[in-house]
Each structure stands twice: as structure tokens, then as C-alpha cells.
């Protein structure tokens, strides 16, 4: 157990090292950092001074280690555009993104797994076929189109829900949440559905496919030959074996939610980190881009770690070895 986790940790560190190297090279190779700091019309002396300040004349390895040291303290420097520390900016906007992702993940997992199991068991029923056809449409709908459609229907046409922004937040001191007020929920519901729909259909289709796969195995046939009930076969034997591959994909999918939050936040003008990132890309605001990259990679690494531990719990073949 200990070595298993240790090995995964080592892998995570490797991933973070590579990602940080990439984001470091973003700083050095994308655009001219001095130009970005002072603008086009600065004097030669000003430029040299800034070069000196930033340590741009040091050897690359020294610069990288300095970057790593700062990164570990959460220091990514000042935003080129807003001129404020990047870590502050991210932490201000983090609750909005995390809450959106959290609500979407719950919707995607509960509905996705539920419908996946249903369509996996009742393979031949018309409801299953209907769900399956609709799910294929779901996979084909780009997130931004879902968002636009929901806004048009529920905000513009029916006027039931707000079309953009986050409202009704309550400041808990260290966290601004919108999950405690009705207004907050009204604002989050459309973006959350938009974000979850694509992942929901993916999970649904995956769970169903895995169910069908497991149903073909010998141990299911043997369970039938022992006369076990359909219920026992479906849930005790098939579903649990389905979970092993499903857990991996779900881990990836939650990562997908974070990625697509960029698009959802843009459509709904949701004040999260994704919106900040896309604006930063527009202006080549490298410190924010780099910080966001590291931050997303860190979230992913954490999710993968949790997935690995779940594996360990679910599958005795990994837990107990051979």
C-alpha cells in the first residue's frame, strides 16, 4: 500500500516538474517579458533596470530554480494587464469555479451512472434506446451551444433564471459561496447544467458499455448457471466489476469539467478562474496563463491520486497482489 502510493506520488511530482518547466518557458519565450512589463515606449535605461530586477541575465537554470521556489510559495508575479499579484487573483476567483465544477460533477455522476446502469440492464427496452439516442445528441452538442440555448430559452424567452453572472454570494471569511441563497442557486443552475451535460452523456455511455462488456464474461455465465437472481447478477457481480474501469474515466471527466469551465464561464460571464484565463490568453498575460496551467495540473494530479486510492479500495487484485 505504502509503496503503491509512494510510486504514484513520484509520478505526480514528475508531472508537476514538467508542467512547471513548460510554464517557466512560457515566461521566457512567449513575447518579451520586459516589453510586457513596461510597454513599448520605455527608455533603454528603464528596460535594463527591469531586466536586472527580473534577473533575466542569469543562467536559465538559476532562473528556473528561482521560478520553482516562487511557485512553491504561490508567487507567480504580477499580472501584466491588471498589475496585481496573480495568486491573489486566482484565490479570489477560485470559489466560483470550484462550486460550479462541484455542482456539475454531482449532476453528471448521479444522473450519468444512474442512466448508464439502467440502459445497461434493460438493454432492449424502448426507454433505453431513447436515452441512448438522446445521449449521442448530447455528445455532439458543443458546450457553448448548450449554454446559448439554455440562456435563450430560460433567460431570454421564459425569463425564469438570470442569463449571466454570479449573485447571492455569502462571504464566509475565507470563501465566498453562492450555495447558501436562493439567488445563488438560481444563478448557478444554468451554468452547472451546461457544464455537466457533455460529461454526463460520456459517463452514461461508458457505464453502459462496460456493463455490456462485463455481461459477456465467464463469471457472469457461471453465476447464471448457479441460478442466482437477475438482481444479484446485475448489481453484486456486474456493477462492481464495471466500476473499476469507470473510476478512471470519471477521474478524467472531472478534469474535463475543469477544462470546459473555461467555456461555460465565458458563455455565462461567470466570474471564475476560467474566464480569467481566457481573458489572459487574449492579452498574452503570461503570469496568469502560467499560474493557471500549474493550478489545473495540480488539481488533476490530486484527482488522479484520489482515483488511484479508490482503485486500491475497490480492486483486491491491486490491494492484495498476487
Q: Binding residue for other proteins (CB under 8 A) from 83, 124, 226, 231?
A: 226
Work out whether 282 is an interface residue with other proteins (CB under 8 A): yes
Nearest by Cα to 87 from 214, 276, 221, 255: 276
Work out whether 75 is an interface residue with other proteins (CB under 8 A): no
Q: Which stretch binds other proteins (CB under 8 A): 105-113, 114-122, 134-142, 182-190?
A: 134-142
Task: Concatenate the DSSP letters of all residues of 114-126 into one string.
Answer: HHHHHHHHSTTSH
Q: Which residues are CB-contacts of 251 (< 8 A; sequence separation ≥ 6)?
A: 303, 304, 306, 307
Q: How far is the CB of 130 from other proteins (least distance, A)?
A: 13
Nearer to other proteins, 135 or 169 (CB): 135
Scan residues 98-127 and list those touching other proteins (CB under 8 A).
none
How many residues form the binding site for other proteins (CB under 8 A)? 70
Residue 234 burial class via C-beta count within 10 angstroms: exposed 0-12, middle 13-18, buried 19 and up? middle
85 bridge partner residues: 78
Q: What is the 8-class DSSP label of residue 135?
A: H
Q: Which stretch binds other proteins (CB under 8 A): 37-45, 54-62, 168-176, 262-270?
A: 262-270
Q: How far is the CB of 30 from other proteins (least distance, A)?
A: 5
Task: Look at the block and give the residue holding cell 453572472.
Answer: 165
Which segments of the chain does DSSP mark as H helices, in order? Answer: 2-29, 33-38, 44-54, 60-72, 86-121, 126-140, 143-150, 182-215, 218-225, 230-231, 240-268, 273-282, 286-314, 316-320
Work out whether 229 is an interface residue with other proteins (CB under 8 A): yes
Work out whether 320 is an interface residue with other proteins (CB under 8 A): yes
Residue 15 burial class via C-beta count within 10 angstroms: exposed 0-12, middle 13-18, buried 19 and up? middle
Scan residues 288-317 and list those touching other proteins (CB under 8 A).
289, 293, 296-297, 300-301, 304, 314-317
**Contact flags string 150-179 toward other proteins, x per CB under 8 A:** -xx---x-----------------------
Q: Is-contact 7 42, C-beta < 8 A?
A: no
Residues that bind other proteins (CB under 8 A): 11, 14-15, 18-19, 26, 30-31, 136-137, 139-145, 148-149, 151-152, 156, 212-213, 216-219, 221-229, 232, 236-237, 240-241, 244, 252, 255-256, 258-260, 262-263, 266, 277-278, 281-282, 284, 289, 293, 296-297, 300-301, 304, 314-317, 320, 322
Amino acid at each position: 500500500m505504502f509503496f503503491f502510493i509512494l510510486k504514484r506520488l513520484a509520478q505526480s511530482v514528475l508531472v508537476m516538474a514538467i508542467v512547471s518547466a513548460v510554464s517557466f518557458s512560457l515566461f521566457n519565450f512567449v513575447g518579451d517579458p520586459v516589453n510586457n512589463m513596461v510597454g513599448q515606449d520605455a527608455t533603454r535605461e528603464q528596460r535594463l533596470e527591469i531586466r536586472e530586477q527580473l534577473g533575466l541575465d542569469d543562467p536559465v537554470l538559476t532562473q528556473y530554480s528561482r521560478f520553482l521556489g516562487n511557485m512553491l510559495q504561490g508567487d507567480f508575479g504580477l499580472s501584466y494587464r491588471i498589475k496585481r499579484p496573480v495568486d491573489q487573483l486566482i484565490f479570489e476567483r477560485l470559489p466560483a469555479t470550484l462550486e460550479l465544477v462541484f455542482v456539475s460533477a454531482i449532476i453528471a455522476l448521479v444522473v450519468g451512472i444512474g442512466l448508464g446502469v439502467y440502459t445497461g440492464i434493460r438493454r432492449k427496452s424502448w426507454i433505453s434506446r431513447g436515452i441512448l439516442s438522446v445521449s449521442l445528441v448530447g455528445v455532439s452538442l458543443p458546450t457553448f451551444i448548450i449554454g446559448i440555448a439554455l440562456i435563450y430559452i430560460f433567460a431570454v424567452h421564459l425569463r425564469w433564471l438570470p442569463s449571466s453572472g454570479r449573485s447571492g454570494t455569502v462571504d464566509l471569511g475565507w470563501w465566498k459561496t453562492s450555495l447558501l441563497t436562493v439567488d445563488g442557486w438560481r444563478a448557478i443552475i444554468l451554468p452547472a447544467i451546461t457544464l455537466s451535460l457533455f460529461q454526463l452523456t460520456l459517463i452514461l455511455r461508458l457505464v453502459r458499455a462496460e456493463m455490456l462488456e462485463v455481461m459477456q464474461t465467464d463469471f457472469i455465465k457461471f453465476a447464471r448457471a448457479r441460478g442466482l437472481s437477475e438482481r444479484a447478477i446485475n448489481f453484486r457481480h456486474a456493477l462492481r466489476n464495471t466500476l473499476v474501469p469507470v473510476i478512471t474515466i470519471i477521474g478524467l471527466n472531472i478534469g474535463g469539467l475543469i477544462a470546459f469551465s473555461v467555456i461555460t464561464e465565458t458563455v455565462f460571464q461567470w466570474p471564475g478562474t476560467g474566464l480569467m484565463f481566457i481573458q489572459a490568453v487574449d492579452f498574452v498575460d503570461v503570469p496568469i496563463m502560467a499560474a493557471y496551467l500549474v493550478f489545473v495540473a495540480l488539481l488533476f494530479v490530486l484527482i488522479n491520486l484520489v482515483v488511484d486510492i479508490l482503485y486500491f479500495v475497490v480492486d483486491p487484485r491491486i490491494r492484495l497482489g498476487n
